[in-house]
């Protein structure tokens, strides 16, 4: 369950949150199960935060710092994550339908069993080393316009189309 002080503070916006975060760099952040739908969280610092099962639908999280954050089972439908830093983040079982992931860094992120659809916006999305096994709704086109490497783990239904070594080499 979320820390009530953290929820109250983050709803004041990124500037107030980031200022508090600078003054309290070692405090563990718990926003698990918090209802933050529609919140403006542009460039918010949520590195290492617990956002497990948080409701973040319709939020603007462009440029957010979420490295190492736990977003397992979070609701991220129609969230703007453009340019967000999600390196080493846990996004298992997230619903990312209709989200904007352009220029988002998901390097080494765990995105197993996440839900995508054709409306998820990819483009220069860093998926190097990301684990996307059992993710649903991804298309070859979305992967083609992203950055992948030999350590990127794709869902089985895409693996036949992606096994071509020339394709992978062109993406590196």
CB 67 within 8 A of CB 46: no
For residue range 73-108, list pLDDT tens digits in order: 999 999 999 999 999 999 999 999 999 999 999 999
Provide long-range contacts, Cβ within 8 A and 24+ apart, for 82-90: 82/121
Residue 33: pLDDT above 80? yes
C-alpha 161/C-alpha 53 separation (Å) is 32
Residue 56: pLDDT above 60? yes
pLDDT (0 to 100) of residue 154: 95
For residue range 102-160, list pLDDT tens digits in order: 999 999 999 999 999 999 999 999 999 999 999 999 999 999 999 999 999 999 998 76
* Domains assigned to the chain: 1-172 (2.160.20.80)
pLDDT (0 to 100) of residue 162: 63
pTM over 0.75: yes
CB 72 within 8 A of CB 90: yes
The residues that bridge with 126 in the sheet, in sequence order, are: 105, 147
């Amino acid at each position: 369950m979320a820390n009530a002080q953290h929820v109250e503070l983050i709803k004041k916006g990124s500037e107030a949150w980031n200022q508090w975060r600078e003054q309290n760099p070692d405090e563990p952040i718990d926003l698990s199960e918090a209802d933050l739908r529609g919140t403006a969280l542009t460039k918010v610092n949520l590195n290492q935060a617990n956002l497990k099962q948080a409701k973040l639908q319709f939020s603007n999280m462009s440029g957010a710092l979420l490295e190492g954050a736990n977003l397992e089972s979070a609701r991220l439908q129609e969230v703007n994550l453009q340019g967000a830093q999600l390196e080493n983040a846990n996004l298992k079982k997230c619903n990312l339908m209709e989200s904007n992931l352009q220029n988002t860094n998901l390097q080494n992120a765990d995105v197993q069993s996440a839900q995508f659809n054709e409306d998820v916006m990819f483009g220069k999305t860093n998926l190097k080393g990301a684990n996307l096994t059992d993710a649903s709704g991804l298309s070859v086109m979305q992967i083609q316009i992203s950055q992948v490497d030999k350590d990127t783990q794709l869902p089985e239904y895409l693996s036949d189309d992606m096994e071509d070594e020339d394709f992978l080499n062109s993406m590196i």
